[in-house]
Structure 1
């Protein structure tokens, strides 16, 4: 029987996610995660097998968190614009970029997007294609605002699609 885990997977995966969000996928290594959570690199190897296994587990945790945030935002807001505003997106770009190279993470990302689009359909009272356009407009606006560009008002796009 193995000894009890002194540092939970949640703590380790939170450390890996923090590195991913702050510095990108390349920053997630056994050495960096070890420093961040205080667990020896060989122990991380025992738990996750290799770097991609640890990164995959961190991405699963990240998408689960995004799902929880979407559920909370959907319950708290009645409008599509309010839902998207409350949902935020600070953590999305690093998750999306890192998820592209892993089929499991890419599937989680696609499922999250589909869930968000279903909420938009319900709150906006629109068809699936209009919800997809609203989602894309929201993501595009956030991306370009992060790059310093002026964005359009999401409520104007929502009004036109409704």
Structure 2
């Protein structure tokens, strides 16, 4: 079967993020991405320039998706609990938060993370009317997501909201 001549960036980025999630940074190479996407490695080199450039482009696109998800959740959820559930409740892109936070050596990726955290905390503050409670709830929510990925038992988000609210 012939290789596809082209594939949208979104499909390449999705495959790349799956590789990162499954095997970490070492699992991503032009050859591994070419294998899962069916594209020629040379096409990937031509499109993204370098392995790091390809990873960076995929993670920046994931931040774009998470920013859009954040704004949708903010528009649809009235409560802090509902907002966080909309951000982390099995929606595409929600699982990217831990992946996106895995490496902040890149200044642009670190800046995106800082901006997203500030936005989420501002949206929580609007719902809780307390910036300190919003910061604590954000940290607890992210900690819960991290430990759930590792197989740990988390707390109920609504209990944390009640204690902070």
What TM-score bracket applies, with the shorter chain setting the length? 0.7 to 0.9
Q: CA deviation at 1:84?
A: 0.6
3-state SS in 2 of match to 1:117: helix
Q: CA deviation at 1:73?
A: 1.3
Q: CA deviation at 1:148?
A: 3.0
Which residue is 1:116 aligned to?
120
When normalised by structure 1's length, the TM-score is 0.87
Can you give the 5+ residue segments of structure 2 that lack an aligned partner in the other structure? 89-93
Answer with 11-20 or 75-84: which moved more: 11-20
1:97 to 84, 102, 110: 102
Instruction: Map Cα deviations across residues 43-86 of structure 1 (whole Å, 9 max, x no partner).
Output: 11111111100010001011111111111211221100111111
Question: In 1, Cα distance between the equivalents of 2:17 and 2:154?
Answer: 28
Question: In 2, Cα distance between the equivalents of 1:15 and 1:142?
Answer: 22
1:106 to 110, 126, 135: 110
Given the alignment of the two structures, is residue 14 of structure 1 paired with residue 14 of structure 2, yes or no? Answer: yes
Question: In 1, Cα distance between the equivalents of 2:50 and 2:24?
Answer: 18
Contact 1:77–1:83 (8 Å) recurs in 2: yes
Matches within 5 A, 1:12-51: 12-51=12-51
Q: CA deviation at 1:22?
A: 2.9
Runs of 4+ aligned structure 1 residues displaced above 6 Å come to none
| Alpha-carbon distance change, 118 to 50 in structure 1, aligned in 2, over 3 angstroms | same
3-state SS in 1 of match to 2:101: helix
3-state SS in 1 of match to 2:102: helix
Contact 1:24–1:94 (8 Å) recurs in 2: no
Which residue is 2:163 aligned to?
160
Instruction: Map Cα deviations across residues 105-144 of structure 1 (whole Å, 9 max, x no partner).
Output: 11111111111111111122222x3211110011112222
Can you give the 5+ residue segments of structure 1 that lack an aligned partner in the other structure? none
Root-mean-square deviation (CA), in Å?
1.7
Question: In 2, Cα distance between the equivalents of 1:65 and 1:28?
Answer: 21
